[in-house]
Structure 1
């Protein structure tokens, strides 16, 4: 459970003071702790004056059978449960805690409650989730704070049974109680009042109308006497509750006290007031700490994303608009730094960067933490003519370079995107979105600083529109598959055809694969597209081979994503079974990029596919850094040379040497070598002269719908 969602225990404590029914007080104490811990149910058990024997006071969502079994719980001397209770740290029950077998309560967490003599009560919580150290620390503090409320409930119960015991019970309350007359003079104070205030004698208590109390608000600003709760109750006759004040004791120690003042009536006339107060210093400081943690990143100490929203709302609120630049700064190549430095090293690095940003942004704006390695800067220019882009460039010049990290030289580089307020956006959402778009372009391009431009948003809108229309096209069947022949040149015969996806959308018109394939990759649609092409191509192969003397195969491209799940062979097997196609009619084309992602996994899957009878082609060979390495590891049948080898080869002697060598290498390794991108007769002639017998390209045939292909016509 996060600190941000924890209820304010301080509020719960003060709310209890309005209750006078012991059962309600106990139940509210339990419910407050359940909310804090996020527990499903629990109970409170408290010891009597004899010690060691605990009776269940109240329960919530606990089976009745369990309560009947444990109306009284006795700590056995020397037991593990008794030993754990001696500490005030919350602990979970396990097999060693045989005093309380609370298995029916679920995953039981015990919160000990101590007084000066040791364990006085405990809270058993059904908390199945693991709490973090912050929540356990909070529960430990709460365990120290609930005792006054429980004591108060017990004493109220006793008071109801005997009014004669009222004075005695008042003395044992942990809550300070002071009775003042109509003139404001203290006439009675219990032991807790002396202990909390540090005033040892009743005569030491000043008149409540006297500024000698020197009460201040929690921030340390003095309060006028008219704002003292007791003064308000005496003068207005109205009850004042839950007022927090800072009080300095005679020994110089300050405390935060929660004060209540209730008018005292006798025969219908006001005769004074009852002032009660509790030392809530620990809970108040805990609450302030939780609030600070909720608004700041624990690693960098900078305002976190939650506070960023409030800061941006402040920026966008004034009228006329306040000029500012909203910048997003990212540590470039963060994954590489994480691999090199490890988590602890990168944490130190980010902490150093945050310190530097705080120094840079001092009196110029605000630096905040957005994500693991992204920061938001709200830059306010000194003068209207100051240009945000030039300032951002100077910022990166200061940050970029070599950083000494505990004796280790670390090269760091940053990218920055920004949007101007109000020109590029007038709302927090628009400013953040536009700055993020500018950052993406800064990371993708050569420049390290980019300002938002309207065309960036248009590109995003276009991608979103493409994704929406592509999903609809898959659902409605408006996608089609065209085929480009691979020709065996000596025989002038088509031996295989590469299946290529085409999209003619009723709204967008013709959409290029170069545009919609990346959208499919990033949107998660590529698997569906790949399966669609695979099944369509196999169905077409079945139709072609039904009336073809020489078997024709179809080539289907496979993306990186299709291999990532490790189940691609099952997809192929299912497609073969659905279509009834012979596995030998299918050639799967993979690129070097596919192999580079996870070579062992890809290799295993390719071997599985080969066992089915499917053939494998390495596509676009020669464009990746791992070309020669993968040739010896992948179980390939065809080597398809990238068009960059072929285009204009007849005009460049060095490229001729390179192409001739690559063809010879492929043939000697036993592959069928295919030259892609042949568009000119001179290119075809040179490819043939190199010994490459299989060719694909516009010179021979463009991709066409299956009904327009003439598979029996001779090719050049």
Structure 2
């Protein structure tokens, strides 16, 4: 018969195996991170068994949780969660299902922990319904979930309430997500309306065709776009500027999912930038291109002319007598005049040409695509006619002329600087030829311009180093007694030699040097006159010449008054000579300035009387003390009856109006005798004395102050 173990041995082996299995089971249960349990389904969840994990989970030892005398699980369960936990478990028990519930417990140390419990209702060995299950600590997991939920809530809040538009789009141009801000930017009521309507971003959104393709290329090359600025359509058809920042979103395997990014409405910033660019490149008053943009237009014109074989004409324009209108009528009227002239110039040209304003009353034209000079001439003739049309300023009608200088590319220069310089030179030639005309550049003009620039630089140096002298031409009465002197600027340059006033005075007026030049001359003349008059019973009158430009400046009276105070010179010993040209405009302003000078106490003389057009009315209206007959009324009067008649009438008129009459340019004794006989008060000219230095005037005064006739030549 087969061998078989004794029965008592088999029982022993079975018992050992059961014990071993129990030990393994206990080891597994007690080493789980969490608590395995069996409890009664009573009001206290009385624990019948708990694993060793209860200590780490709750802080209580197993013995403290078991039986009716221990700490009940109901007590450990957070008070706010007890009812909910019981309802979940009892519902599962009633339906015979497993249960799972999350809640909070309070540990022995008072700490609150989140736990997850899973279990089932079973009958024990005595057929009593008990609960068996497992409770684990999910505090960390719960904290992570709550953080994720909070982050998602924050993201959702940002997404919904951001001021920037946020989007997700497909590669083919459909919106997958959009926030309310993006809907508002594009003019939609809701994101849903935006996504439903704007189904083709490339064609329906961007104003400039192909913009989406540029977006794709940047994404492909860089994986993102930054500050991608585009003009886009809104729902109502208006256009705005946006800036996009976007990137590619990819899946776990690197596959393309969508484009994601933000949108800002930068219309206001773009408009501000355009304003800044316009201000940087355009004249604020007229809206015309300024010097910066002009250089670019000239460069473009030169390139086009080179390519096409046409001429490029550069025209420098300076308005005639603008300063007089601006000073007499005020800057507001001057601005209106400039704007009107700008409009007229623009109206004369084609859209491809340019009118620019350099400043003041200076304009430049860039005229393209002319293949013969005659067509440029025709255009300029029409332009002069248009500029010369009457314009109403402050209720009065004026006519304004212009002097135009023309330089042609390529004959007169091959860059903007040369062409502008040569056009400017030609413009001054137009002024010298009577104004209100145009002149083309020539090499001779360039030579004269270079000489003028050299002269200007030399003048500035002379003013800085006291290089100007003062000579004095005596004025005598009918007995040849010196009663006054006229101060005249003189300049001798070491290289240039003697430079006449007819050369340097116009340059001083054009360059703004007339004020420092006049100031230097007046200071020296006042000092000399003060020395001469120190002990004289009847002081000499010092005549000072005022440039028309200075006379019309707003502070000339105060400036002269300051120089008189500085020199401690009585104003009654000074006479200002003003040329008739200053009265050819706003007589009210001239009257006001003359009245201020009269209040200062200085004498006033009209120089060059007889060369203007309205001298008679001026003598009546203006507070003048003296008139100086121009040399054209003196020269030849001893030979030409008509000249003598005019001189006689001028002297008679002056005397009738109780003015002191001075004849200048007296060069012969016959002229002196005629003028004296007609009642002329004072005389000045080469017959009596040329302008001489201060020392010679001093010698004449010390010798008695009478200029004797020149000795007759020996026969």
TM-score range, shorter chain: 0.5 to 0.7
Determine whether 1:437 maps to 2:425: yes
**Aligned-partner Cα distance in 1 for 2:605–2:398:** 42
What per-residue deviation string (whole Å, max 9, x for no partner) do you get for residues 439-487 of structure 1? Answer: 3433453462221234444444434433433343344333333233333
**Aligned-partner Cα distance in 1 for 2:538–2:339:** 66
Determine whether 1:450 maps to 2:435: no
What per-residue deviation string (whole Å, max 9, x for no partner) do you get for residues 64-86 of structure 1? Answer: xxxxxxxxxxxxxxxxxxxxxxx
In structure 1, the residue matched to 2:379 is 392
Q: 1:280 aligns with which of 257, 260, 265?
A: 265
SS in structure 2 at match of 1:651: coil
In structure 1, the residue matched to 2:558 is 567
SS in structure 1 at match of 2:638: helix
**Aligned-partner Cα distance in 2 for 1:444–1:183:** 71
**Aligned-partner Cα distance in 1 for 2:470–2:237:** 85
Distance 1:450-1:160 versus aligned 2 partners, 3 A rule? farther
**Aligned-partner Cα distance in 1 for 2:596–2:397:** 41
**Aligned-partner Cα distance in 2 for 1:438–1:529:** 27
Q: 1:243 aligns with which of 228, 235, 251?
A: 228
- Whether contact under 8 Å (1:402, 1:409) holds in the other structure is no
**Cα deviation, residue 625, structure 1:** 4.1
Give the alignment of 1:234-383 within 5 angstroms: 238-244=223-229, 258-264=243-249, 269=254, 272-278=257-263, 280=265, 282-283=267-268, 286=271, 290=275, 293-294=278-279, 303=289, 305-317=291-303, 323-328=311-316, 349=340, 353=344, 356-357=347-348, 360-362=349-351, 365-367=353-355, 376-383=364-371
**Cα deviation, residue 191, structure 1:** 5.4
What per-residue deviation string (whole Å, max 9, x for no partner) do you get for residues 149-198 of structure 1? Answer: xxxxxxxxx99964454345434445454557999997655556677597
**Aligned-partner Cα distance in 2 for 1:159–1:403:** 80
Determine whether 1:425 maps to 2:418: no
Distance 1:661-1:161 versus aligned 2 partners, 3 A rule? same
In structure 1, the residue matched to 2:475 is 486
Distance 1:346-1:642 versus aligned 2 partners, 3 A rule? closer
In structure 1, the residue matched to 2:465 is 476
Distance 1:529-1:390 versus aligned 2 partners, 3 A rule? closer
Determine whether 1:521 maps to 2:509: yes
Q: Which runs of 5+ in 1 are unaligned?
A: 1-157
Q: How many matched pairs? A: 539
- Whether contact under 8 Å (1:484, 1:703) holds in the other structure is yes
**Aligned-partner Cα distance in 2 for 1:377–1:331:** 14
Distance 1:219-1:685 versus aligned 2 partners, 3 A rule? same
Determine whether 1:715 maps to 2:701: no
Q: If the length of structure 2 is used for normalisation, what is the TM-score?
A: 0.61
Distance 1:588-1:228 versus aligned 2 partners, 3 A rule? closer
- Whether contact under 8 Å (2:244, 2:261) holds in the other structure is yes
**Aligned-partner Cα distance in 1 for 2:272–2:474:** 72
SS in structure 2 at match of 1:381: strand
- Whether contact under 8 Å (1:592, 1:621) holds in the other structure is yes
Q: If the length of structure 1 is used for normalisation, what is the TM-score?
A: 0.61
- Whether contact under 8 Å (1:159, 1:169) holds in the other structure is no
**Aligned-partner Cα distance in 1 for 2:149–2:419:** 63
**Cα deviation, residue 510, structure 1:** 0.4
What per-residue deviation string (whole Å, max 9, x for no partner) do you get for residues 630-681 of structure 1? Answer: 5456666554322122110122223222222332343455444332211123
- Whether contact under 8 Å (2:206, 2:232) holds in the other structure is no
SS in structure 2 at match of 1:242: strand
SS in structure 1 at match of 2:248: strand
In structure 2, the residue matched to 1:508 is 496
Distance 1:251-1:290 versus aligned 2 partners, 3 A rule? closer
- Whether contact under 8 Å (1:214, 1:247) holds in the other structure is no
Distance 1:692-1:169 versus aligned 2 partners, 3 A rule? closer
Distance 1:661-1:333 versus aligned 2 partners, 3 A rule? closer
**Aligned-partner Cα distance in 2 for 1:344–1:609:** 33
**Aligned-partner Cα distance in 1 for 2:607–2:385:** 44
**Cα deviation, residue 382, structure 1:** 5.0
- Whether contact under 8 Å (2:631, 2:666) holds in the other structure is yes
- Whether contact under 8 Å (1:496, 1:552) holds in the other structure is yes
**Aligned-partner Cα distance in 2 for 1:605–1:268:** 92
**Aligned-partner Cα distance in 2 for 1:237–1:475:** 63
**Cα deviation, residue 506, structure 1:** 1.4
Distance 1:315-1:601 versus aligned 2 partners, 3 A rule? same
Which protein is bigger by CA-based radius of gyration? 2
**Cα deviation, residue 504, structure 1:** 1.2
In structure 1, the residue matched to 2:159 is 170
Distance 1:427-1:549 versus aligned 2 partners, 3 A rule? same
Q: Pairwise CA RMSD of aligned residues?
A: 4.9
**Aligned-partner Cα distance in 1 for 2:324–2:681:** 44
In structure 2, the residue matched to 1:60 is none
Q: Which runs of 5+ in 2 are unaligned?
A: 1-146, 710-715
**Aligned-partner Cα distance in 2 for 1:586–1:246:** 71
**Aligned-partner Cα distance in 2 for 1:551–1:249:** 86
**Aligned-partner Cα distance in 1 for 2:538–2:238:** 99
What per-residue deviation string (whole Å, max 9, x for no partner) do you get for residues 586-640 of structure 1? Answer: 5544444466774433433443443xxx655544333344534454566665543
Distance 1:503-1:159 versus aligned 2 partners, 3 A rule? farther
Q: 2:487 aligns with which of 499, 502, 518?
A: 499
**Cα deviation, residue 572, structure 1:** 5.1
**Cα deviation, residue 541, structure 1:** 4.3
Q: 2:663 aligns with which of 656, 675, 678?
A: 675
- Whether contact under 8 Å (2:325, 2:334) holds in the other structure is no
